Structure 1
Amino acid sequence: MRQMRSYPTTADLENPLYYLENMNTLVDWVAAHHSDLLTEFERARLASFRALPVAARALLTRMVMRTGDLFRVDKLNYPELPQPETDAVAELIAEQWLEPAPLLGLEDVFRLFTLAELRPLFADWLAQNRLPKSLPKAQLREALAATLPEPEPVHRWFDQPVPQVVQVQDMALFDRIRLMFFGNLRQSWTDFVLVELGVQQFETVPFTPESRAFQHRAEVDSYLQMHQCRERLDAGEAAEEVWPDISAPVDNSWLASRRNRLLLELGRQAERQGNSKLALQAWAASGHREARLKQLRLLERLKRFEEAWAIAGQWQTGKLSDAETQGLERILKRLAPKMGAPKPQVPTKPLIREITVTLPKPDSGTVEQAALAHLTSESAPVFYVENTLINALFGLLCWRVIFKPIAGAFFHPFHIGPADLTREDFVARRQTEFDQCFALLETEAYRRIIRETFKAKQGLANPFVAWPVVTEDLLELAMECIPPAHLRALFDRLLTNVKEHRSGFPDLIRFIPNGEAPEHRYEMIEVKGPGDRLQDHQRRWLAFFDQQGIPASVCYVRWQDAGGSS
């Protein structure tokens, strides 16, 4: 496999053809790292693309990025091209990138032409059918659709000369290389080609054949098949019609995760469409963390209590996130009486310290800022950190693990973080390395690693580190005041469900550097203004703090009225 000579860079927005530079980077990256997953014809087409004159290549890039594959030549207007658009179109037709006379269906004609252009075309037909010539466009299209017109080239639709319509060829190839570059088809070309990636700095991750998500062309085909199934579901097609086309289980953890999500959605659609049997079948086959709860809830609604009880009992023995645990507890509580079993023990209500402060309502600023100003002091400074501080300490300590080049984690050089960050197997595939990082918390080495990483990686994108907020002084104060055992507990919980547990942290943190007890030299403070209540994920964090002996409280702010009373 051909390797790229140097790490790719992003285009400068001062270059009017910056989008073409970025597209060239994308095509070169795929050709260099995924050549063996392309057919000989596909490799030849990519080479042909790179050999096109600049104007033709730039125009094709613009067309590929737009919606659909049919274009009126007279509507192609890109002043930055070094040649006229018509010359570029002629070049693309000559190189078979554009079809010069595509067949147009009724929907195509109505999308490409205005009502003023269409009315003369169908004037006689409207008169013959005793329809008003001023019929709105949507109603005109609906009336004509009943006649089932056959697709025709554009000149066959109109009696008078009309602008040329062309069709982009090889869109399937462009979708394939977009998939291999991004690792998904959710991201559009504009996510890369039309953004100034230079404003963001990215970690350099070694990209080797072993770290690729796709090892075989059949895996790319499998992804594309799953994507088509998802599009069919999104278009409203019956789940039972899509079900037979779901690909078989694959021996590829990254693709297996995609399949699990597809099965989760198919089950949702099946349930909405009244097909409970298929919904249960799809969720039973899905390994997605949400599928099991949906399966249990549906079994409960169907009064199939014994099945639900058996599945819930098996699931209870596994490692669950807080949300899963809460959902399972509620189901078991409802099922127990029906099964003649004792109700599960109700979890002890956490002891949450609460304080209420009455403050003058400020002319500007948030309730959190008002609480911070009231609570802070020289000996016990308070900072607004919300979800940034603990995440940053974790991200800096575990930087090398987060950016470990393993299959399905990184597809191109411009990732903010690993693509599998919120997948169920994110931790399992890196467990040994995470254990090594957490072992550092038992020595003073963790402080050195965090300091060194903070300086060495300053400004580089990391999904856990918000650089503008996290300062060196804040980190030093946090490491001085937060016991490493507490950090370990927080990090462990974070990893049980990264997607869920990266948020919900209290708004403020108060440091008490001179506090006598090491475990009480800081306090996390959730702020709630008038009428505001704790959310479920915040309650779960507070319950966790209580279990772990982590100091935390909720500060309820009340505003003084104009007369000075609360």
Structure 2
Amino acid sequence: MTDSHPQARPQTADLADPLYYLANMETVVTWVAGHHADLLTQDECDRLAAFGNLSVSARALLTRMVMRTGELFRLDKFKYPELPDSEARALMELGTRGWLEDNPELTLDDLFRLFTLAELRPAFAATLKSLGHPSGLPKGRMKALLAGEFPDPRPVSKWLGHDRHPVVRLRYMALFDRVRLMFFGNLRQSWSDFVLVELGYQQYETVPLSPRSRAFHDRGDVDCYLVMHQCREQLDAGVAAPDVWGQVPDPADNAWLASRRDRLLLELGRQAERQGEPELALEALAGSHHREARLKQLRLLERMKRFDEAWAIARNWHDQDLSDAEAQGLGRLLKRLSKKVGEPAPPLDDTPVPETFTLILPEPGPVEWLVQQHLTTDECPVVYVENTLINGLFGLLCWEVIFTPMPGAFFHPFHVGPADLTREDFVSRRRDLLEACFRQLDTDAYRDTILTTWRRKQGLANPFVHWQVLSGPLLEMALHCIPPVHLKVLFRRLLANLKEHRSGFPDLIRFVPDHPEPAQRYEMIEVKGPGDRLQDHQRRWLAFFDRQGIAARVCHVRWQEPEFGP
């Protein structure tokens, strides 16, 4: 990935290097310091520069600490033989340079997390005895009994009466979390997602990055994300939804942050309902523009018996563009609500029954492979493609659009695809570019675009393209047999909900390349073994095929009964 800064492309570490994790951490720190320096304070920039001035052993040990959970560490647990110098020498350097706090105060929770039951029992035996309890209690029970007796933090020597197991606190973890956020674009990914992997096994598209394409426009954007992350962590920890609600930031002008806020409000609404706060749940869901929020809001209104209110919202929503899953859920809800409000339910699209056929095969085995082998002929080859072919054709046609550096789409040089791929505004932000791609389907230009992209981008990571399946002969056959008008409607449905519609395609495609009618040169075949049934997203694709005149069938496989002699 290139950028507007005069820096060399970051290199990936080799796992054969015992300090590969340090090389990857240095890539992260260097990238953030070079691309986001304006979002850091001077003290933070100085501290990152100081990281680079440490010895190799000190940098490596600091990296190991950053990657571990929490800020507190027992020094006797450090065993890193790959360090050029001893752990003790690296620790001394880190302490002298201000990275570590010696002898920090520990809460009771900290103490019980860091030390074993065998180490804790002698220290608290007398206290437990005075409380009328034996010293041989389980760890969790012991901590619960001691919580009221020891509310204040203290150094480990005051807890355990000795300092044989010294503890240090790593300073600047908040800075490393900020660095991790600006590199990944989220705090869901841990350091191990980057630092402990070999990134070189995959080739990445080169995306031109500039300050204009960044998700974070200023330091306030980073702060806003961090506050929302803290809110989500509190919800996950079971904090009362009303307490979290007061901390949720106001709507942001930054579209990328706005989508994150929508997700937070969706989760807050869920938690509020579970905690018996339905009014707060309604307010949170109404404030979220996440695609799942409105249906959850309507179902909650229904459970609260506020049928007229739910009906009015649902009827208005019914007239808007919906994904198949939304339309199905809304249709079922309107049918129920219509009985409560005395109104006729809007007509629902009848779901057609898919065409089926049955094959009786001689012995159990991988059903898709057996059906493929049974049906394929020299004149009509059958290929196992499932979700790879249509997705792959889309990915090749729209490659340049997928890797356009929209704000919040790419954060570093190692993206398989845009970070906003399944976000609600992925399409709307690229609509003009996508329409330009689709106009190629009105001429023969799309064939050259797809084939040229397949040759030029061979092996580069793309969230839609599976190179091991999308061979040249398959691509040529698909472009000959699948009419462009079909590709256009398939791609448009794909974009209606990328999170949902990228899966559910039939297992097999049967090509009939010599058929005189272009629309009859292929058919999709979904394979179901004994006892297997169609899933909802598969039914929706089959219904779509039926509406669009795309040939598709379901093959039910039965095993041939063994023959027994007389």
Fold shared by both chains (TM-score > 0.5): yes
Cα separation, partners in 2 of 1:36 and 1:130, compared to 1, 3 Å: same
- CA distance in 1 between counterparts of 2:241 and 2:374 reads 56
Q: CA deviation at 1:351?
A: 4.9
On the 8 A contact 1:17/1:80 being kept in 2, the answer is: yes
Partner of 2:400: 400
Partner of 1:110: 112
Give a deviation string over 1:32-86, Cα, whole Å, max 9, x none. Answer: 1100000111111111111111111110000000011111111111001111101
- CA distance in 2 between counterparts of 1:113 and 1:2 reads 49
Map 1:389-538 to 2 at 5 A.
389-538=389-538
On the 8 A contact 1:2/1:33 being kept in 2, the answer is: no
Are 2:382 and 1:376 aligned? Answer: no
Q: CA deviation at 1:376?
A: 0.9
- CA distance in 2 between counterparts of 1:298 and 1:129 reads 48
Q: Secondary structure in 2 aligned to 1:192?
A: helix
Partner of 1:563: 563
Partner of 2:295: 293
Partner of 2:157: 155
Q: Secondary structure in 2 aligned to 1:122?
A: helix
Partner of 2:304: 302
Map 1:179-218 to 2 at 5 A.
179-218=181-220
On the 8 A contact 1:201/1:459 being kept in 2, the answer is: yes
- Residue 250 of structure 2, aligned match among 239, 248, 251: 248
Map 1:330-409 to 2 at 5 A.
330-362=332-364, 365-409=365-409
Give a deviation string over 1:474-497, Cα, whole Å, max 9, x none. Answer: 011000000000000000000000
Q: CA deviation at 1:445?
A: 1.1
Q: CA deviation at 1:151?
A: 1.2
Between 311-320 and 519-528, report the one with greater CA deviation. 311-320
Give a deviation string over 1:89-121, Cα, whole Å, max 9, x none. Answer: 111111111101110111222222222222332
- CA distance in 1 between counterparts of 2:404 and 2:546 reads 34
Partner of 1:62: 64
Per the normalisation by structure 1, the TM-score is: 0.97
Q: CA deviation at 1:399?
A: 0.3
On the 8 A contact 2:392/2:465 being kept in 1, the answer is: yes
Q: CA deviation at 1:7?
A: 1.1
Partner of 1:328: 330
Cα separation, partners in 2 of 1:337 and 1:161, compared to 1, 3 Å: closer
On the 8 A contact 1:528/1:557 being kept in 2, the answer is: yes
Q: Secondary structure in 1 aligned to 2:357?
A: strand
- CA distance in 2 between counterparts of 1:64 and 1:523 reads 53
Cα separation, partners in 2 of 1:104 and 1:529, compared to 1, 3 Å: same
Between 337-346 and 552-561, report the one with greater CA deviation. 337-346
Q: CA deviation at 1:564?
A: 8.2
- CA distance in 2 between counterparts of 1:239 and 1:167 reads 31
Give a deviation string over 1:121-158, Cα, whole Å, max 9, x none. Answer: 23333444443333333332222223124211112223
- CA distance in 1 between counterparts of 2:123 and 2:12 reads 48
- CA distance in 2 between counterparts of 1:487 and 1:564 reads 50
- CA distance in 2 between counterparts of 1:139 and 1:306 reads 51
Q: CA deviation at 1:4?
A: 4.6
Q: Secondary structure in 1 aligned to 2:105?
A: coil
On the 8 A contact 1:17/1:58 being kept in 2, the answer is: yes
Q: How many residues are treated as equivalent by the alignment?
A: 563
- CA distance in 1 between counterparts of 2:205 and 2:237 reads 38
Partner of 1:315: 317
Cα separation, partners in 2 of 1:96 and 1:500, compared to 1, 3 Å: same
- State percent identity of aligned pairs: 63
Map 1:23-172 to 2 at 5 A.
23-172=25-174
Gaps of 5+ in 1: none
- CA distance in 2 between counterparts of 1:268 and 1:196 reads 38
Are 2:548 and 1:548 aligned? Answer: yes
Gaps of 5+ in 2: none
Q: CA deviation at 1:306?
A: 1.5
Q: CA deviation at 1:331?
A: 1.3
Cα separation, partners in 2 of 1:83 and 1:302, compared to 1, 3 Å: same
On the 8 A contact 1:238/1:273 being kept in 2, the answer is: yes
- CA distance in 1 between counterparts of 2:137 and 2:317 reads 61
Specify the code of the residue in structure 1 equivalent to 2:420: D
- CA distance in 1 between counterparts of 2:74 and 2:125 reads 23
On the 8 A contact 1:367/1:529 being kept in 2, the answer is: yes
- CA distance in 2 between counterparts of 1:4 and 1:103 reads 45
Cα separation, partners in 2 of 1:485 and 1:263, compared to 1, 3 Å: same
Partner of 1:224: 226
Specify the code of the residue in structure 1 equivalent to 2:339: P
CA RMSD across the alignment: 1.5
On the 8 A contact 2:511/2:522 being kept in 1, the answer is: yes
Q: CA deviation at 1:545?
A: 0.3
Q: Secondary structure in 2 aligned to 1:308?
A: helix
- CA distance in 1 between counterparts of 2:438 and 2:333 reads 35
